[in-house]
């Protein structure tokens, strides 16, 4: 019995060693994932892109701005002339927060009606933070600046009877994490199902013996690729409807954006994900290999897209990798449309990127399939 078991073990090891793709995945998946996620994942949000509305424009306000940037929590990327412009920028996703300093900033900082002995009291906030509250991690990070000490800026010892800044959280004032999670789940679930469905499409035809029939038909490679993905587009829309409906009915997640914008963004992402699966299918030789490659793509799509960890907290190299994944772009679009009532035109970069990814992916899949026909 042991001799027979040993013979089977030797046979499996030899077969595994000859399967270079599987052997490479055994080594590369844990190594690459460990290096990538150990380096990239960071729950401490730093250097968040922020805007500034400085109606005071005084020496005190400029000193305060420098002190805020010195905390490394935010980086001021844009200046706006009014709070309305700042709110529009937050809705578009250009910035995560905006610091609003009123025209009477100096008076708020220097004038202290309450005085006891040698201690001056700050009796009202000197400014206000406008925050994208749909991201709970970003909102909690900005809230940490509420009690920022102002002694060095005012040139005197201050005891704050009130927070230094007010914080206004848009889109999710109650800070419910489910509000942020449900739109993100759209990207995660669609990535899992769409890529998985099509990653084995061409491989399955070969393993089931249907490849010879496809070769003899007048169907062109591009037509075959399009025919493979169209049925799953309908499946993707069914999943989008289920997720958003259940999230709204069960968890009271607001759907502020128009259904036409949601449908267009979902269509772009579904096509991009299905195309990615087709490219994988043309590279894999067996369905096992296609599943391994799907997992290799799936984990970065979940962890680097901003679903679980702030995109801004990742190193620049990890952000570049995230930008190459369709899930990252759809994560921005879904949260912006569903939670902030943004329009697709406000998210042109992400929309055009997914269109380009789909076109290039279809071209690559078609060329690789035609080469295999030769």
Q: Which of 150, 170, 190 is the last residue of a domain?
A: 170
Per-residue model confidence (pLDDT) at position 360: 95
The residue whose two tokens read 């010195």 is 70
pTM: 0.82
Residue 142 Cα to chain centre, angstroms: 19
Q: Which of 170, 186, 202 is the last residue of a domain?
A: 170
Residues 148 and 230 in one domain: no
Residues contacting residue 148 through CB under 8 Å, at least 6 positions apart: 67, 68, 71, 164, 165
Residues contacting residue 3 through CB under 8 Å, at least 6 positions apart: none
Residues 279 and 323 in one domain: yes
Residues 109 and 230 in one domain: no
Q: Which of 193, 279, 300, 294 is nearest to 237 (CA)?
A: 193
Residues 164 and 192 in one domain: no
Per-residue model confidence (pLDDT) at position 327: 94
Residues 127 and 227 in one domain: no
Residue 252: count other Cβ atoms within 10 Å of its Cβ.
10
Residues 296 and 324 in one domain: yes
Residues 199 and 342 in one domain: yes
Q: Is 19 helix (H, G, I), strand (E, B) or coil?
A: coil
Q: Count how many domains the chain has.
A: 2
245 lies in some domain: yes
Greatest alpha-carbon span in the chain: 96
The residue whose two tokens read 């013979």 is 7
Residues contacting residue 280 through CB under 8 Å, at least 6 positions apart: 195, 198, 199, 290, 293, 294, 297
CATH code, domain carrying 142: 3.40.1710.10
Burial of 70 (0-12, 13-18, 19+ CB in 10 A): exposed
Residues 153 and 186 in one domain: no
Residue 326: count other Cβ atoms within 10 Å of its Cβ.
29
The residue whose two tokens read 């030899």 is 14
Residues 89 and 199 in one domain: no
Per-residue model confidence (pLDDT) at position 127: 92
Per-residue model confidence (pLDDT) at position 354: 96
Angle between helix axes 287-303 and 177-199 (nearest 10 degrees) is 160
Residues 107 and 243 in one domain: no
357 lies in some domain: yes
Per-residue model confidence (pLDDT) at position 111: 62
Q: Kindly provide the b/e burial profile for residues 348-370, where b requires at least 16 CB atoms within 10 angstroms of the residue's own CB.
A: eebbebbeebbeebbebbbebbe
- What 8-state DSSP symbol labels residue 138? H
Residues 257 and 125 in one domain: no
216 and 364 in contact (C-beta within 8 Å)?
A: no
Q: Which of 84, 193, 62, 180 is nearest to 132 (CA)?
A: 180
278 and 365 in contact (C-beta within 8 Å)?
A: yes
20 lies in some domain: no
33 lies in some domain: no
Residues 181 and 166 in one domain: no
Instruction: Please report, in tens digits, the pLDDT of each residue of the chain (374 residues total).
Output: 788 878 878 877 787 677 666 666 667 667 766 766 666 666 677 889 999 999 998 888 999 999 999 999 999 999 999 999 999 999 998 999 999 999 998 888 776 544 444 556 677 888 999 999 888 888 889 998 998 888 777 666 666 667 889 999 999 888 888 898 899 999 999 998 899 888 877 777 777 766 666 667 777 777 777 888 888 898 999 999 999 999 999 999 999 989 999 999 999 999 999 999 988 988 887 787 888 888 888 888 888 888 887 888 788 888 888 999 999 999 999 999 999 999 998 899 999 999 999 999 989 988 887 544 44
Per-residue model confidence (pLDDT) at position 371: 43
Residue 251's domain spans which residues?
176-373
237 and 199 in contact (C-beta within 8 Å)?
A: no
Query: Phi, psi (5° rounding) for residue 350?
Result: -65, -40
Using only the alpha carbons of the chain, give its radius of gyration: 27
Q: Which of 170, 198, 224 is the last residue of a domain?
A: 170
């Amino acid at each position: 019995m042991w001799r027979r078991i040993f013979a089977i073990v030797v046979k499996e090891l030899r077969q595994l060693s000859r399967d270079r793709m599987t052997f490479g995945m055994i080594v590369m998946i844990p190594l690459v994932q460990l290096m990538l996620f150990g380096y990239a994942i960071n729950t401490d949000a730093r250097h968040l892109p922020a805007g500034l509305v400085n109606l005071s424009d005084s020496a005190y306000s400029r000193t305060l701005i420098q002190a805020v940037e010195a905390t490394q929590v935010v980086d001021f990327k844009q200046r706006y002339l009014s709070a309305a412009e700042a709110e529009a920028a937050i809705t578009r996703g250009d910035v995560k927060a905006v610091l609003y300093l009123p025209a009477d900033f100096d008076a708020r900082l220097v004038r202290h009606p309450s005085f006891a002995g040698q201690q001056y009291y700050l009796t009202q906030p000197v400014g206000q933070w406008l925050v994208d509250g749909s991201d709970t991690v970003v909102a909690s990070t900005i809230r940490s600046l509420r009690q920022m000490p102002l002694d060095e800026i005012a040139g005197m010892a201050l005891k704050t009877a009130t927070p230094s800044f007010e914080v206004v959280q848009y889109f999710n004032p109650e800070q419910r994490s489910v509000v942020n999670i449900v739109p993100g789940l759209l990207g995660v679930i669609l990535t899992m199902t769409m890529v998985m469905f099509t990653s084995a499409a061409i491989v399955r035809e070969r393993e089931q013996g249907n490849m010879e029939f496809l070769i003899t038909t007048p169907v062109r490679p591009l037509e075959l690729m399009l025919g493979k993905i169209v049925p799953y587009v309908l499946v993707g829309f069914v999943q989008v409807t289920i997720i958003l409906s259940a999230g709204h009915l069960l968890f009271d997640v607001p759907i502020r954006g128009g259904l036409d914008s949601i449908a267009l963004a979902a269509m772009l992402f579904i096509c991009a994900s299905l195309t990615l699966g087709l490219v994988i299918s043309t590279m894999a030789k067996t369905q096992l290999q296609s599943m391994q490659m799907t997992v290799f793509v799936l984990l970065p799509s979940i962890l680097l897209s901003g679903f679980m960890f702030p995109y801004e907290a990742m190193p620049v190299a990890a952000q570049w990798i995230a930008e190459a994944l369709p899930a990252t772009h759809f994560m921005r679009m879904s949260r912006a449309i569903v939670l902030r009532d943004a329009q697709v035109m406000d998210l042109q970069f992400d929309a055009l990127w997914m269109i380009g990814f789909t076109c290039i992916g279809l071209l690559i899949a078609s060329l690789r399939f035609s080469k295999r026909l030769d």
